[in-house]
Structure 1
Amino acid sequence: MNTLNPQATALSLKQLGYLLAVAETLNFTRAAELCFVTQSTLSGGIAELERTLGVQLVERDRQRVALTPVGVEVAQRAQSILSASRDLVTRAQMAADPASGEFRLGVIPTIAPFILGDLLGCVKNQLPDLVLRVRESQTAALLQELEQGALDAAIIALPIELGKLQAFTLFEEKLRLVAHKNDPMCKGGPVALREVDTRRMLLLEKGHCLRDHTVSACSASQRDTESGENSLVEASSLNTMVQLVNSGLGCALLPDMAIKAGLLNNTEVQIVGLRSPVPSRQIALVTRRSHPKLNFIDRVLCPMFKGDHAN
Structure 2
Amino acid sequence: MKVTLRQLHYFVALADAAHFGRAAARANVSQPALSLQIKELEAQLGVDLVDRLPRGVRLTRAGQEVLTRARRVLAEVDDLTQAIRWRDGLSGQLNLGVIPTVAPYLLPAALSRIRARDLSLELRVREAQTAQLVEGVRSGRLDAAIVALPVPDDGLVAHPLVEDRFVLAGSERRLAAYADALPDPASLRAGELLLLDEGHCLADQALEVCGLPGRGQVDLGASSLATLCGLVAAGFGLTLLPELALPVERAAAPDLGLLRFAGTEPARRLALARRDTSRDDGWVGDLTGLIEEAAQDVLSQARQICPPGA
Corresponding position of 2:106 = 115
1:198 matches 2:185: no
Corresponding position of 1:85 = 77
**Residue 20 of structure 2 contacts residue 35 of structure 2 at CA under 8 Å; is this kept in 1?**
yes
Give me the identity figure in percent.
Answer: 34
Once superposed, which parts of structure 1, at least 4 consecutive aligned residues long, lie more than 4 Å away?
Answer: none
Corresponding position of 2:234 = 247
Corresponding position of 2:305 = none
**Residue 201 of structure 1 contacts residue 250 of structure 1 at CA under 8 Å; is this kept in 2?**
yes
Change (3 A) 1:273 1:89: closer
1:60 matches 2:52: yes
- Any idea what SS the aligned residue of 2:265 has? coil
Corresponding position of 1:149 = 140
Residues 215-250 of structure 1 deviation map (CA, whole Å, 9 limit, x = unaligned)? 11001xxxxx22222112421100110111123221
How do residues 110-259 of structure 1 correspond to structure 2 at under 5 angstroms?
110-183=101-174, 184-185=176-177, 187-219=179-211, 225-259=212-246
- Any idea what SS the aligned residue of 1:261 has? helix
* Larger relative contact order (Cα-Cα within 8 Å, sequence gap ≥ 6): 2
Aligned partner (choices 20, 23, 26) of residue 28 of structure 1: 20
**Residue 165 of structure 1 contacts residue 286 of structure 1 at CA under 8 Å; is this kept in 2?**
yes
Whole-angstrom CA distance in 2 between matches of 1:213 and 1:270: 21
Corresponding position of 1:302 = 288
Which stretch shows the higher mean deviation, 57-66 or 139-148? 57-66
Change (3 A) 1:284 1:93: closer
TM-score between the two structures when normalised by the length of structure 2: 0.90
**Residue 103 of structure 1 contacts residue 131 of structure 1 at CA under 8 Å; is this kept in 2?**
yes
Aligned partner (choices 234, 241, 266) of residue 253 of structure 2: 266
How do residues 6-45 of structure 1 correspond to structure 2 at under 5 angstroms?
10-45=2-37
- The alpha-carbon deviation at position 99 of structure 1 amounts to 2.6
1:103 matches 2:94: yes
Whole-angstrom CA distance in 2 between matches of 1:53 and 1:11: 8
| Residue segments in structure 1 that go unaligned for 5+ positions in a row | 1-6, 220-224
TM-score between the two structures when normalised by the length of structure 1: 0.90
Whole-angstrom CA distance in 1 between matches of 2:71 and 2:165: 37
- Any idea what SS the aligned residue of 2:167 has? strand
Whole-angstrom CA distance in 1 between matches of 2:237 and 2:43: 60
Whole-angstrom CA distance in 2 between matches of 1:63 and 1:299: 47
| Residue segments in structure 2 that go unaligned for 5+ positions in a row | 301-310
Q: CA RMSD in A?
A: 1.8
